[in-house]
Amino acid sequence: AQKITQTQPGMFVQEKEAVTLDCTYDTSDPSYGLFWYKQPSSGEMIFLIYQGSYDQQNATEGRYSLNFQKARKSANLVISASQLGDSAMYFCAMRVGTQGGSEKLVFGKGTKLTVNP
Amino acid sequence: ETGVTQSPTHLIKTRGQQVTLRCSSQSGHNTVSWYQQALGQGPQFIFQYYREEENGRGNFPPRFSGLQFPNYSSELNVNALELDDSALYLCASSFRGGAKNIQYFGAGTRLSVL
């Protein structure tokens, strides 16, 4: 079964410190994509970072980096130098194929990050 | 700003009614996906439209239906509303054929069924 597991319902971090949000995935497909999205209380799902299954290097986007460990099927998000505006829900997602030929995202349950001043 | 806009932002309906939600895609995108997000959960895939046809559906009943228009905008229709349909409905647009095929989301429509 294709599944995303986020085991941390909530995380706290001090402003300017780094934080790691955990994500493990399960799939038998050799080709897949892994995503992290941020969802503030307003509801919009904001794309942060992408890692392809064949990418040799870990993805980075500004203060975000993805620690991709293929053998362990993990794709942890690292946020460096946390800011108050980083407080939000964070979702890990995996792109999988469907019978109709489309590609859908399978999401985890999310981690609520709170950045303290 | 993702360039994906959804309307309305909030909606209140009663059980048994019908509702239509709308989504405008980001410029240059040819695919629209719809997701339902219940409170405290991650989004669940409803279906996807490409070239004005549905080409993938999640575990949702036929009373959930959709349309995609030539300008790639889309509608989600839900008939015979049930209380459990109360959720945030998210639309995402993407470009099929791109290397990463990233889905960009709108701000969602929050539907309450009373």
Q: What is the pLDDT of residues A72-115, one digit of tens each?
A: 999 999 999 999 999 999 999 999 887 667 789 999 999 999 99
pLDDT of residue B65: 97
pLDDT of residue B27: 85
Spatial CA neighbour of B96 closest among A117, A17, A98: A98
- Contact status of B95 with chain A (Cβ, < 8 Å): no
Flag whether pLDDT at B98 surpasses 90. no
- Say what percent of chain A tops pLDDT 90: 85
User: Which is more confidently placed, A76 or B56?
Assistant: A76
- Quick one: pLDDT band at residue B3, thresholds 50, 70, 90? confident
Whether A59 contacts A66, CB under 8 Å:
yes
- Contact status of B57 with chain A (Cβ, < 8 Å): yes
Question: How far is B72 from B53, CA to CA, in rounded Å?
Answer: 11
- Contact status of B11 with chain A (Cβ, < 8 Å): no
Residue B55: count of CB within 10 angstroms of its CB: 17
Residue of chain A with shortest Cα separation from B93: A104
Q: B63 — alpha (psi -120 to 50), left (phi > 0) or beta? A: alpha
As beta bridge partners, residue B55 has none
Mean pLDDT, residues B41-64 taken together: 94
CA distance B45 to chain A (A): 7
Flag whether pLDDT at B99 surpasses 80. no
Task: Give the number of A-B residue pairs with CB atoms closer than 8 Å.
Answer: 79
Residue B83: count of CB within 10 angstroms of its CB: 10
- Quick one: pLDDT band at residue A41, thresholds 50, 70, 90? very high
CA distance B17 to chain A (A): 24
